[in-house]
Amino acid sequence: MNKDKDTTYFRITPTYSGITDQISEFNALYKLGLSLGYTYIHYPFRSFRSSLEPLGILLNSANPNPLIRFMHRVLKFSLRLFKSWFYSDVYDFLGFNTHLCERTSFLQKKTLHIVDVTLTDELIRKKGITTLAELQGFVKDQLSDKRSKKKKTIQVNFKITIHTNFFRLIHQDIPDYQDQLNLRTAYFEARRRQPWASKFVDTKVKILVHIRQGDTAVIKTPWNTYIPVKNFTKNRFAEHRKFSDIQSDIFLQVSDYYDFVSMFITHFNDDMFSILFFSDGFRRAFDLLHKDIERLKLTPDRLKILNHSQKHYDQKAFEILKGIKNGETVIGESSTNLFDLIHSALSSDIVIIGTQQQMIPKLLTNYCANYDQLPTVIVLHRGSKPNHSRIGLNDALKKKLIYFNIHEPDYEWLNIRLTKQCSILA
Domains in the chain, please, with CATH? 9-45+95-189 (no CATH), 54-88 (no CATH), 205-425 (3.40.50)
Which pLDDT score is estimated for 53? Answer: 39
Q: Is 292 exposed, middle or buried (0-12, 13-18, 19+ CB in 10 A)?
A: exposed
Which pLDDT score is estimated for 52? Answer: 42
C-alpha to C-alpha distance for 343 and 200, rounded to whole angstroms? 10
Which pLDDT score is estimated for 301? Answer: 93
DSSP β-ladder status, 39-40 and 376-381 = unpaired
Which pLDDT score is estimated for 56? Answer: 35
CB 240 within 8 A of CB 172: no
* Angle CA 309–323–336, to nearest 5: 65
Which pLDDT score is estimated for 122? Answer: 93
The tens digit of pLDDT for each residue in 210-228 reads: 999 999 999 999 999 999 9
Which pLDDT score is estimated for 422? Answer: 82
Closest C-alpha to 241, from 254, 226, 231, 252: 226
CB 273 within 8 A of CB 326: yes
Mean pLDDT, 10 residues at a time, over the chain (426 residues)? 68 91 95 96 80 37 48 48 59 93 70 88 94 96 72 87 86 92 95 94 96 94 92 71 88 96 92 96 92 85 92 96 96 93 96 92 92 93 82 86 94 91 80
Which pLDDT score is estimated for 388? Answer: 79
User: Which CA distances in Å does 169 have to 6, 132, 270, 357, 364?
Assistant: 27, 5, 44, 24, 21
Indicate the residue type of 273: F
